[in-house]
Each structure stands twice: as structure tokens, then as C-alpha cells.
A and B are shown apart, each in its own frame.
Chain A
Amino acid sequence: MKRHFVLIALLLFPLLTLAQQDASISGYISDAETGETLISANFAIANSSKGTSSNTSGYYTLTDIEPGTYTVVATYIGYQRYEKQIELTPGENLRLDIKLKPEGYQLDEVVVTSKKEQDEKRDIGLAQVETEFIKKVPTAFQADVFRSLQLLPGVKAASDFSSGLYIRGGSPDQTLILLDRTTVYNPSHFFGFFSTFNPDAVKDVRLYKGGYPAKYGGRLGSVLTIFNKDGNRNEFKGTVSLGLLASRAMVEGPFKNGSYMFAVRRSTLEPVLAVLRKNVDNIPNSFYFLDINGKVNYDLNANNKLSLAFYSGIDDLSFPFANDANISLNYGNQTLSTNWTHIFSDKLFSNFTLTGSRYFNYPSFNVASTPFERSNNIYDFSLKGDFEYLPNNSHEVSTGFWTGVMTLKLQDTFDEQDTFSSRIHTQYGSWYLQDKWNLSEQWSMTPGIRLNAFSEGNYLRVEPRFSLEYKPTDRIRLQAAYGRYNQFLTLISNEAFSGFDVWLTTDNGVPPSYGDQYVLGAKTIPWKGYGLDFEIYYRSMEDLFELDPFLPDQAGLPYQDIFRFGKGYAYGAELFFERRVGQLTGFMGYTFSLTRRKYPNFNEPLAANGQPRFYPPKYDRIHDLNVVLEYKIDKRWSATASFNYSTGQAYTKPLGRTAAFDFPTSGNPLNQLIVGRVNASRLPDYHRLDLSFSRTGTFFDLGEAEWQLQLINAYSRRNVWFYNYDLEKNPAQRKEVTLLPILPTITYSIDF
């Protein structure tokens, strides 16, 4: 508790500082062509150490500037450098909205002259993925946000079939996913194959892999924030992309004092299914997924901006998988967020968001006239307020709240009789305070504190956060972070299939999971245009609660009895090296990591009184290497290659077998496997090379066009997903279940 008082004292210190008579500059930084605000763009005074970055609304403030004449610069990767001479009078609060002109995605040389902009993107634990990168990097069937994130060190995929994010030893439910500040509960299509985020609609993707700041909470591991485009504020524009699996279209444009953006993506599998249906049995009657994104912005005046963003996505399947048997799936997400950005003064910026998020899932089976139906809904409505206060150049104080109500409803019926019914209605609230305190040119620290309250079970949790940075030279930043994190939700899912996802919450007897994260990092710029980052982390996970996988039926059990409670830890080291200049650009990411879990009555030796042991989850990989390279052949052609090598995933090797021959409720012997330590063996190492070739051109002079040919798993490595042991064979036969073979895809995109 003493530690908490120290933190609060540190946080309140800047509020006690006296006001100065110095001047300040503030405003929005945006793209000159589209009007899109730019997040984390750099603003600085030339030939001085004064600088700052734009926030998630694209707004910046620089205070404590002595009156005088200065040259100010603004930079952002991929944009021309902005330079302007200004004169500041005593006490003046200059409003300077800046429009940066784009230079195209890849630059022949880096024009960023202020290290501040690079610094901001490379905060500890933070990774940012450019939208253009998402579209360029080869991915199966569809450009995908999550698949692109999986190339980063510390982020893993469970398999080729899963877009779920396994970050620093955490399962997908340990990552908070926010779309335009609204929680998304099931961000997957195609039963988990790829994510719901349409790259045409996305403006900004950033992932806090660990040690994330007090502004965020509610998950043990990580935070992924995604902002959709605001829409072009200067002219009407659009994009159409035709692909083998799905096609996309996006339009954006201005209106008086505002802009809009609408994007739609839909699967286009129907023709393929129709052909298959003529020749192959058991093809779905219908299957599609659909996304619609939209955003409307309206500027009331220079200090007040409103926006309304929505997303609606659905997957729908009807599949007669056998005679007299049909499965139907219908699931998706809907989000709505209304945002009001208000600038109180040059030193106080605020943002208020009203969010609504719905997840629905209605799977049903009908086998031999016996229906099974599930109705699974989450409704989450919340109000958020974030304030940024800059009393002087030494302190950037942030505070805010997030309060809401959430309802989780789950209803199962079997043969038209209710078999399980649950309705959880909970209120939640949180408040945070943090201060980025620039102690000197070299040192800065960010203490923070977050309070979380959750009504289901009446839990109140305090989370201290702290980060420290030391810059011994302009090109080296040494960083450290610590944080305590709590999680009040758990996801019931399966890495192979996310179509039945169910979320459950804490309650009496089901305390929230919690854990500590420790991160150390070094961010360096070894040469101009290169980056070399290194991070190590350790994290603990306590009171992990998940649905007991050994419960065949939950009916009649007390809520706490349907869970198993465990613990875990993870640690690792990540190396990231990137080249951002020249014809050949790209990065190499290497991760060494180790993850362990332990649950009661699990992974115990067969001997009497055996105690449970820690075990690696399947997705644990000791070594993981990703190399992504892009080569610009000429103005029209470019090639991208992505190579991944990783240690084989963990699996349990059966040691022995036996059978129960007389089990009264079975007509066949019940085979039994005898195993040792769970997941103590490793599948063969995984490696895969993906290639992409792009050619740009024009489409009848109406706009720019691009052909993109991709080859996933170019040398058709048959990576193993898992082994299946067929005990009907004697001796037992091990069969490999393999991942994706070689897979060519082609996409044609038109920008008009």
C-alpha cells in the first residue's frame, strides 16, 4: 500500500506546478490529401529538444515555449517534411493545424529528421503495423490485420487456420481488442481463419504486447487498438478489390465540415460452392461472411469534433453434413461508437466516447429430427472519458474513466427442452491516472495507477503501472516497465474453431485473474534508416479461470464449479531488426519464449498422490523467426517474401494403451491412452515461405489498379498441425493432420 501512496504523490506532483507565462502551440496533424488525422505524428521546434507527438485523435500540444521566432517541423513516415516559421508572443496559445503531404509508401530515403517520431512508435511493448503493410504482406486468401500482426516478434498463431493472437504466452482472450475505442468480442471470420477487420477501412493498428499503460485495462496480457479511417475530407475516393475468397469496396468523401467512409467486404464463395456441389457430397448449402464499416465525422468548430463509427459483421453457414443432419451457424459482431473530442484549452484535451458492442452467436444442429439450439449474446454499453493535461513540457498527465454495463446471455436447448440457461448482468467501471514525466533530456518515467471495479462478485482491484526510460545517446533508448493487470472475463473457445465462442465472467467464488508483467527493452538506431530493438519480459498469471474441459454437463452445478482455476507464467526475449531505406526493405523478428500453465488434477503422474505439474500449452514455441522483405523492382513491380521458422508446437505423446471391454453404456471397447507429461513432445519444426508479386497500373484512366499474385507456402511444406492416434488399428497408428499446402491467390484492386 505504501507503494501506492508514492505513486499517487508522483502523479499529483505536476498539478502543483505553477503556470508559466510562456507560449504554446497546439493543433491537429492530418494528411493533406485525405484529411485523415495522423496518429503519433511528430511535431518539434527545429534545433531544439522540444517536441511532442500527436495523440490518437491526431492532436498535439507543445507548451512552455519562450516567446520568439522559431521554425517548427512536423514529420510522419511516408510524408513530406513540414516546415514553417512562426513567431510567438508572451502567453500566446497558437493554434496550428498541419497538413502533411504524402510521399507514397516506400521512400528512397528516410526523411524523418526528428527522432521523436520514431521514438513514439517504439515505446516499450508497442508495435505498430502500417495499413499498406497489411495489404502487401502475403496472407492466405485475404489481406488480414491479425495475420500481419502474427509476423511480429512475441505474437504467434495457433495454426495456419487460426488468426487468434497468442501474445507473449497469453491466450487470445488476454488481449483487449478495441475498434474505434469499442470492445470487439469475437474478431474472427470463417470460424477463426481471419479477422473481422477490413484493411480498406483501417487507418491505424497498434499493439501493446505487454507492460501496457494505465490508460488501458481489463486484460492480463495485451491491448490492440484499431482505428477506422475518418474518410477523405477533400474529395470523393474509392477502392474496389476482387479476390478469390472475398471482395471489398470502400468509398469515402467530404461534406461540409465533415467526412464519411463506408466499406464493405463480402465473401464470394457461392460460385465455387455451386461447382463443388455438383461433384462432391457434403458441400454447404450456403456460406457467406459480410463486414460493413462506416464512419461519419463532423467538426462543430475548431475545438469540438464529433464522429459516429459503426461496424457490423456476420458469418452464416448452412451445411447438411449427412443424411437427415444439418448444421447452421450464424454469428457476428456489431459495434457503434459516438465520439466527442473537445479541446478545453491548449493544455487540456478531452475525448468522450459512448460505445455499444454486441456479439451474437446462434449455432444450431438438427440431427435425426433432434434439434440443438444455442442463443449466445453479449451486450456491452459503455461511456469513456479521457483527458490529457499538459501543465508544462515536463509532464503529460492523462486521466480518464470507463464505465459500462454488460449482459451475457446464454441459452441452450436440446430436443426443444432447455438444458442450460445463464444470464449475467454486470456493471463495470475503471479510472486511471498517469503522468509521463520528462525528468531530463535523458530520463523520463511514467507512473500510473488504475482502479477497476466489477459488480459480478463485487471486485475492486488496484493496478499500479510504471515505466522508465533512459536515453544515453540519440540512438539508444533503454526502457523498463512494470504493471499489474486483472481480467474479469474468460473465453471458452477452441483453437481449431472459433464459431462457438462463449464469454463468461467472474462472480462470487470466481475471482478475477491477475498477473504482473516486467519488461526490459532497448530500442536502437544502429544506422540511419535501420532499427534494432530488443525486449525481454516475464509475466505471471494467477487465478486463471476457464471452463473445466472435463465437465460433460454443467446443469445444476454452482457457477464456481464449472471452472478450473490455474496459474501460469511466461518469459521470453524478442529481437526486431528492420531496414526502412532503399529498394529492399523489411524486417526480421526473432522470439525466444517459454510459457507454462498448471491446473489442479491436470498433468499429474499416474502414480498415487501425484501432484499437478506445469506444462507448455500447445502454442508454446521456443524459437520463432520471421523475415519479411519487400523489393521494389521498378515503379510498377514489387515483390514481397515472408518466411517463418519456429519450433514445433507442443503435443502429448502417448506412451501406452489399454481398453475397457465391458463398459455397460458402450457397444465397443473404450480405448484408453496412457500418457506421461502433457505436451512434453514437439511436432516437427514449422517453416513456410510466402511470396507476393504486385504490379501497379491504371484502370482505363479512371484510377490506379494493382494485380497481386500470392503464393502461400511456396514450397508446399506439409507442416503438422497435430497427430491423431488411431486406436482402432493394432498397433496404434499415428496420422499426421497437416496445415495449409501451397495456395495461390490473386487479387485485383482499383483505386478511383
Chain B
Amino acid sequence: MKKLSLLFFAIILLSGCALYEQDSYQENYVVESYLVAGDELPKVRLSTTSPISKKYKFEDNTVSNANVEVRRLTPDSSVAETYAYLEQESGIYKPQNSITVQDHQLYGLHITTDKGDEITATTFVPGNFKTVNELQEEYMYQGSQQIEVITTPSQYLTNRQAYYIFTVNAVNPDTASLTPFYMDQVLNGDSEIEDFYINSSGIINEKNYDRNENNNIQLTVPWLAIAFYDTNNVVANAIDNNMYDFLRSQDVQTGGSTLSPGEIQNINYNISGGIGIFGSMASDTNQVVISKPDQSNGS
């Protein structure tokens, strides 16, 4: 009986040591490019990953001499048009011709490296949308009147709801024009001022907003989004699946989820043959001035 118990225990111990070992580092190609509906075709960055123990610099990891193409695809994924790219700086490729990105269209990225490796990805550009209401030129910070933007809805490939990211981009940011909460963050050393040049809402589902009788979406910009007084661009962005997957999984990597601390998962990349992002979005910008409460009271 004693021997049997020992044997049983030994079996358990051995099976418990079933190998679950850490993978070793492998270099991956990294691509980065974002199509914006109505804008010109964007540049494409091509580089490689770096081991965690090494210094990382994009310039040290670029991949040159690759054949880079962006293709406009038909709904059945056959090629409608091909746009050739040229390497302008090491690892940075730009389109040979000035081409405008069309909304509600499927695009593909096709890269062949000088080693013959292929990297491919596709993106569906969200439908364009526009602001339909008149914004005030100036808003008093934390005043009774918040910035309200009414936009037409953005359409996507499938019936999925639109995913938005709203950003407030400071036009002339400096430390003196930081709003109190952000000033505190910078002065305490918790953050750098650059962190707030573009202040992002994170991903917000369309269903958070009611549609009005004209089927338009009404957004109220929270005061929390305003990091700087003075001139700001309020940008509404409707993002594609690739940006959605990338951003939500990158957020989790930085700790914003229910996962235990230290339980890190790779980012969700929709790239074949490498990692990175080939994303797209549609956006609309409004410019406003945010005045300090005392200034507005005095004026």
C-alpha cells in the first residue's frame, strides 16, 4: 500500500511537470499604416521586432528593399487597382502617386521582402460621416454649455455597429494652458505633457448614443477630454476592425482589464506573415476654443 501511494504520488509529480515552457524569442516583421477616408494613401512602415532586452529604435529595425503595394479590392477580394509604393526613407514606404482613399471600400496591403517573405493584410474603410450642427466658436471650461457634436452615422462592411474614438487634439499646447486635472498629472510627474496633446476617449460603441429623428448621432464631449485651454480640434473617428482589435488588445497589455497583473497576452494583429496594423478609419474634425472660466466671466 505504501509503495503504491508513493508510485501514485510520483506519477502525479511527473505529470505535473508536464512541459509548459516559455517560447523563445522570434523576430517578426512589423507593418504600420492607416488609411483615412478622403485622405491620400498613407505611408507604410516596415520593420522588425526587437528582443525585450535590447534597445529598441525603429531606425535600427527597418526593413528595406521590400516591394510594397496597396490594392483596392472588390467585395469578392479580387484586385480592382494596385498602387505601388517606393521606399523614401529606410523602412518607410510612400505611394508613388497621389491617390485618395475611398470610404466604404476594401483595401489590401501586399508586401514582399527581399528575402521573399510575404506580408498581407486587408482593411475595410468605414463610411464617411460629417458634422451637421453648428458648433459655438468658444466654450467656457466646465461651463453649463458642453460641446455637442451631431454627426451622420458611419456605415461599415457588415451590420456591425460603428466603433468610434473621439479625440481632442490641442492646437497650441503648452504647460500654462493645461486644465487643472492634467496640470496636476504633469506637475506631479505622473505623466508627460506630450501624453495629452491628443486626448483620446478610447473605443466607444455607437449604441452608447441615441439617434435623433434624422438618424444622426449626438455626442456630448466630456470636460475630461479637454486637457488644454485655447484652440482644440474635436475629432470623431469611426474605426475599422483592425484598429478596433489592435487598440482593445493593446489596452489590455497596458493593464486595463480584469486579467491578473502580469498575465500578458499578445496584441490581436490581423496581419498575415507578420504583426502590426493595417487599419483604416473615417473622421471628421471641428475646431473650438476652450476658455478658462475666469476669462469668460470677465469678458
CB of B39, distance to nearest CB on chain A (Å):
10
Interchain CA distance A604-B249 in the complex, whole Å = 13
Q: Is the interface of B mostly helix, strand, loop or mixed?
A: mixed
Residue A368 CB within 8 A of the other chain: yes
Contact mask for chain B residues 175-188; partner A; CB cutoff 8 A; 1 contact, 0 none? 00001111111001
Question: What is the minimal beta-carbon distance from B28 to any residue of chain A, in angstroms?
Answer: 6
- Is there contact, CB below 8 Å, between B167 and A678? no
Measured between beta carbons, the chain A residues less than 8 angstroms from B58 are 659, 661
Contact present for B195 and A668 (CB under 8 Å): yes
Assess whether A673 is in contact with B28, with CB atoms less than 8 Å apart.
no
Q: Separation in Å of the A146 CB from the closest CB of chain B?
A: 18
Query: Contact check: which of A649, A658, A663, A721 meets B49 at CB < 8 Å?
Result: A658
A130 at the interface (CB under 8 A from B): no
Chain B, Cβ-Cβ closest to A556: B207
Q: Is the CB of A553 within 8 A of B53?
A: no
Whether A748 is near chain B, meaning CB under 8 Å from some CB there, is no
In the complex, which of the residues B50, B224, B269 contacts A657, with contact meaning CB atoms closer than 8 Å? Answer: B50
Give 1 or 0 for each of B249-290: 1 = CB within 8 Å of chain A CB. Answer: 111110001111111111111001101110001010000000
Which interface residue of A616, A660, A666 has the most chain B CB atoms within 10 A? A660
Q: CB distance B224 to A664 under 8 Å?
A: no
CA distance A553 to B142 in the complex (A): 26
Instruction: Contacts A555-B208, A606-B275, A661-B58 given; indicate if A653 touches B53 (C-beta within 8 A).
Output: no
Given contacts A556-B208, A674-B275, contact A656 B262 (CB under 8 A): no
* Contact between B55 and A730, CB atoms less than 8 A apart: yes
Complex alpha-carbon distance, A651 and B259, angstroms: 11
A370 touches B56 (CB 8 A): no
Instruction: Give every chain B residue within 8 A of A670 (Cβ-Cβ).
Output: 250
Taking CB as reference atom, which chain B residue is nearest A603?
B265
Given A415-B222, A536-B12, A658-B50, decide whether A618 and B180 contact each other with a Cβ distance below 8 A: no
A280 at the interface (CB under 8 A from B): no
- The interface size of chain B toward A, counting residues with CB under 8 Å, comes to 100
B13 touches which of A592, A675, A678, A680 (Cβ 8 Å): A592
A622 and B48 CA atoms in complex are apart in Å by: 37
Q: Please name all residues of chain A whose beta carbon is closer than 8 Å to the beta carbon of B43 when the two chains form the complex.
A: 662
Tell me the minimal C-beta distance from B238 to chain A in angstroms: 11
Across-interface contacts of A370 in B (CB, < 8 A): 222-225
Known A325-B181, A555-B205, A655-B25; contact A601-B224, beta-carbon cutoff 8 A: no
Contact residues in B for A552 (Cβ distance below 8 Å): 202-203, 247-248, 251
* B52–A662 CB distance below 8 A: no
**Complex contact B260–A619 (CB within 8 A):** yes
Tell me whether B180 and A592 are in contact (CB under 8 A). no
Closest to B192 in A: A668
Residue from A549, A605, A651 with most neighbouring chain B CB atoms (10 Å): A549
B22 CB within 8 Å of chain A: yes
Asked if residues B208 and A549 are in contact (CB atoms below 8 Å), the reply is no
User: Contact partner of B266 among A414, A616, A674, CB < 8 A?
Assistant: A674
Contacts of A722 in B (CB 8 A): 260-262
A534 and B5 in contact, given A370-B222, A721-B261 (Cβ under 8 angstroms): yes
Asked if residues A656 and B23 are in contact (CB atoms below 8 Å), the reply is no
Question: Pick the contact of A677 from B23, B51, B182 — CB < 8 Å?
Answer: B23
- Determine how close the nearest CB of chain B comes to the CB of A64; give it in whole angstroms: 34
Q: When A655-B24, A665-B165, A674-B266 are in contact, do A550 and B208 touch as well, CB less than 8 Å?
A: no
Beyond A557-B205, A662-B32, whether A651 also contacts B262 by CB under 8 A is: yes
Query: Digit string of B183-218 for contact with A (CB within 8 Å is 1, else 0)?
Result: 111001000001111111011111110000000000
Residues of B within 8 A of A493 (CB): 258
Other-chain residue from B16, B49, B207, B272 in contact with A622 (beta carbon distance below 8 A)? B16
A residues less than 8 Å from B264 (CB atoms): 651-652, 654, 673, 675, 678
Q: In the complex, which residues 484-532 of chain A have their Cβ closer than 8 Å to any Cβ of chain B?
A: 492-496, 522
Contact call A606/B266, Cβ cutoff below 8 A: yes
User: Does B237 lie within 8 Å of A664, measured CB to CB?
Assistant: yes
For residue B250, which residues in chain A have a CB less than 8 angstroms away from its CB? 660, 670, 672
Distance (Å) between the CB of A612 and the closest chain B CB? 10
Chain B residue with the shortest CB-CB distance to A730: B55
Q: Is the C-beta of A745 less than 8 angstroms from some C-beta in chain B?
A: no
Residues of A close to B20: CB separation below 8 A: 614-616, 677, 680
Rounded to whole angstroms, the CA-CA distance of A522 and B253 in the bound complex is: 45
- Are A655 and B45 CB-contacts (below 8 A) given A158-B260, A604-B266, A618-B260? no
B208 touches A553 (CB 8 A): yes
Are A322 and B184 also in contact (CB < 8 A) when A592-B12, A665-B167, A731-B56 are?
A: yes
**Contacts of A722-747 to chain B: CB distance below 8 A:** 722-725, 730-732, 737
- Docked complex Cα distance between A268 and B114 (Å): 69
**Among B48, B206, B258, residue most surrounded by chain A Cβ atoms (within 10 Å):** B258
Please tell me if the beta carbons of A547 and B261 are within 8 angstroms of each other in the complex. no
Q: Which B residues are CB-close (under 8 A) to A594?
A: 16, 18
Question: Closest CB of chain A to B282's CB: distance in Å?
Answer: 11
A-contacting residues, B42-68, CB 8 Å: 42-43, 45, 47-58, 61
Task: Report the Cα distance A141→B195, complex, angstroms.
Answer: 39
B27 within 8 A of A: yes
A389, chain B: closest CB distance, angstroms: 37
Residue of A322, A601, A672, A724 touching B185 (CB-CB under 8 A): A322
Name the A residues within 8 Å of B182 (CB-CB). 368
Residues of chain A contacted by B197 (CB below 8 angstroms): 667
A325 to B191: give the CA distance in the assembly, Å: 15
Q: List 7 A-B pairs, minimum CB-CB distance, nearest first.
A: A556-B207, A676-B23, A722-B262, A370-B224, A323-B184, A651-B262, A667-B198
**25 A–B contacts, CB within 8 A, in A order:** A323-B183, A324-B180, A368-B226, A370-B224, A536-B8, A550-B248, A554-B205, A555-B206, A555-B208, A572-B12, A608-B273, A652-B263, A655-B51, A656-B25, A656-B50, A658-B47, A658-B49, A664-B237, A672-B267, A673-B52, A673-B267, A674-B52, A675-B266, A679-B262, A721-B261
Supplied contacts A660-B277, A667-B196, A675-B266, 14 more A-B pairs, CB within 8 Å: A323-B184, A368-B179, A368-B180, A370-B222, A550-B249, A552-B247, A555-B204, A654-B52, A658-B50, A659-B58, A672-B275, A673-B253, A683-B262, A722-B260
